């Protein structure tokens, strides 16, 4: 098996090493030649690498139908590399874009390259630098015949799914792979924001120390309901010491969260498709607010009124309530993400298998979690698995946990602690479980000022009233 890798940043270098460790002969190229040289100095002993100084040299190093993985910055850089490669490629060669490209760009590239008889795969890759090296979750989409050709390489590189399989599967045609990765990142935003809100509540209402919170998140990670990669790393974050002060590092980190755009894309796409994802939207907004330092400074002059009549539960009870809130809100975040993938699949005729998506997210990726087994069963074609999984899901929203969830959101609001993602999750749940929503009033208002008409509950058809 042979593979070319263009772009030796952290992810590209680690994917190249991963492939080589699994018996693939890897030709490597980086625009900055010094980076290729440094890569070879550090990692040449890990496998069979061929360093290349030009695209032409890389093409010459690969035999048969060439497979080339692009690990360059999303956007214009991908188009520029493709444009430079096209004159050098032959019919049947395969280009894989492994970056975080927008799915619409991947749709365009698949179609454009098909006309030149060159296969294109848009592949989401999740797992960070560790996953890239030791086994990521990969979400390829595009040319299905090309996927069959490269499947042995990807299977060798991917993480295990815990069921004897690998965390890679063909998602569908066009930009489906990058679409699934985009939604994955949106869910990631939601889960991270929910954990941040739990941290805020535990610290500022429960007076739990960083050491306490390290133990709490570790306990979550040991449970069936909240086991996840994010819980695992968060438990370690709270215990990390600052080398300069010997205090916990978490307290020295500025409260401004960065983002690279995939969360925003998820929100924009959900609006375009008419899918409600309020938990993910709240997480995107929370990052934007955190970065608005000037606006935050101006608002510090406004008065703060705290409802201190709302009692804070005893520590162990409070800890239990936070756990329930995290569990239920997490399920809402995953549900919203899967709903969006389902809507995108229908809109673009991709036929994405949601059970397979849940399966390949169970290993290697950032949002891997024990909870995903439940979603794998919910979207399974086996009616018995589906029925049992849905019943299990309903049971988790039972009286005790749901009451704790509601009380935690109420506490946050009463005590001036913003819980936007948790509150959005609860409001989403309430809206979805109500027999009747108040939007009948909105329809009446729209008909009053714009003659937009309305439907009735007792008759078929469209109606307008001369108000």
Q: 168 — phi, psi (to 5°)?
A: -155, 140
Q: Which two tokens stand for residue 352?
A: 């994405």
Q: Which residues contact 378 (CB under 8 A, 6 or more apart)?
A: 355, 358, 386, 389, 390, 393
Residue 330: closest CA among 198, 204, 233, 440: 198
Q: Is 454 exposed, middle or buried (0-12, 13-18, 19+ CB in 10 A)?
A: middle
Q: What's the burial of 173, exposed, middle or buried (CB within 10 Å: 0-12/13-18/19+)? A: middle
Given 188, 248, 327, 404, which residue is catalytic?
A: 188
Taking the CB of residue 308, how many other CB atoms lie within 10 A of it? 10
What's the 3-state SS for 3-56? EEEECCCHHHHHHHHHHHHCCCEEEEECCCHHHHHHHHHHHHHHCCEEECCCHH
Pair 141, 177: CB distance under 8 Å:
yes
Question: How distant, in Å, are the alpha carbons of 15, 16, 26 from that of 132?
Answer: 5, 9, 15
Helix runs in 416-465, H state only: 420-433, 439-450
**What are residue 27's DSSP bridge partners?**
4, 50
Q: Is 188 a catalytic residue?
A: yes
- Token pair of 181 as six digits: 């990765």
- Structure tokens, 418: 């913003």
For residue 69, report the phi and psi dihedrals to the nearest 5 degrees.
-100, 120
Residue that is written with structure tokens 């978490």 in the block: 250
The yes-or-no answer on residue 404 being catalytic is no
Residue in 53, 144, 181, 247 annotated catalytic: 181
DSSP string, 347-410: HHT----HHHHHHHTSSSSTT-BTTHHHHHHHT-S-HHHHHHHHHHHHHHTSHHHHHHHHHHHH
Residues known to be catalytic: 181, 188
């Amino acid at each position: 098996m042979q593979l070319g890798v263009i772009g030796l940043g952290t992810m590209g270098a680690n994917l190249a090493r991963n492939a080589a460790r699994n018996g693939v002969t890897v030709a490597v190229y980086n625009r900055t030649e010094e980076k290729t040289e440094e890569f070879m100095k550090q990692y040449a002993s890990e496998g069979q690498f061929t360093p290349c100084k030009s695209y032409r040299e890389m093409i010459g190093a690969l035999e048969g139908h060439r497979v080339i993985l692009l690990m360059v910055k999303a956007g214009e850089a991908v188009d520029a590399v493709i444009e430079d490669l096209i004159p050098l490629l032959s019919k049947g060669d395969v280009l894989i874009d492994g970056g975080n490209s927008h799915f619409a760009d991947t749709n365009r590239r698949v179609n454009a390259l098909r006309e030149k008889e060159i296969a294109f795969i848009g592949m989401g890759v999740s797992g960070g630098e560790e996953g890239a090296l030791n086994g990521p979750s990969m979400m390829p989409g595009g040319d299905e015949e090309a996927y069959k050709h490269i499947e042995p390489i990807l299977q060798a590189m991917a993480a295990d799914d815990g069921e004897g399989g690998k965390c890679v599967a063909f998602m569908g045609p066009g930009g489906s792979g990058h679409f699934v990765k985009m939604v994955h990142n949106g869910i990631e935003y939601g889960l991270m924001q929910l954990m941040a809100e739990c941290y805020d509540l535990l610290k500022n209402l429960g007076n739990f120390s960083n050491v306490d919170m390290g133990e709490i998140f570790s306990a979550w990670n040991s449970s069936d309901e909240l086991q996840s990669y994010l819980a695992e790393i968060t438990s370690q974050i709270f215990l990390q010491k600052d080398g300069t002060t010997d205090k916990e590092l978490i307290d020295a980190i500025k409260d401004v969260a960065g983002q690279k755009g995939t969360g925003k894309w998820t929100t924009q796409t959900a609006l375009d498709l008419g899918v409600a994802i309020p938990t993910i939207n709240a997480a995107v907004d929370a990052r934007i607010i955190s970065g608005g330092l000037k606006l935050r400074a101006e608002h510090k002059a406004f008065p703060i009124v705290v409802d201190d009549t709302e009692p804070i539960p005893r520590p162990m009870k409070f800890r239990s309530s936070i756990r329930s809130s995290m569990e239920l809100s997490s399920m809402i975040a995953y549900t919203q993400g899967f709903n969006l993938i389902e809507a995108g699949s229908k809109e673009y005729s991709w036929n994405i298998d949601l059970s397979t998506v849940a399966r390949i997210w169970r290993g290697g990726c950032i949002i891997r979690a024990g909870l995903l087994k439940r979603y794998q069963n919910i979207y399974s074609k086996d009616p018995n698995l589906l029925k049992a999984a849905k019943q299990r899901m309903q049971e988790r929203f039972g009286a005790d946990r749901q009451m704790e969830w509601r009380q935690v959101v109420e506490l946050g609001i009463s005590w001036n602690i913003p819980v936007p993602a948790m509150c959005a999750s609860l409001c989403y749940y309430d809206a979805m479980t109500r027999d009747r929503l108040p939007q009948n009033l909105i329809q009446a208002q729209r008909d009053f000022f714009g003659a937009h008409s309305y439907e009735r509950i007792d008759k078929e058809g469209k109606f307008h009233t001369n108000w």
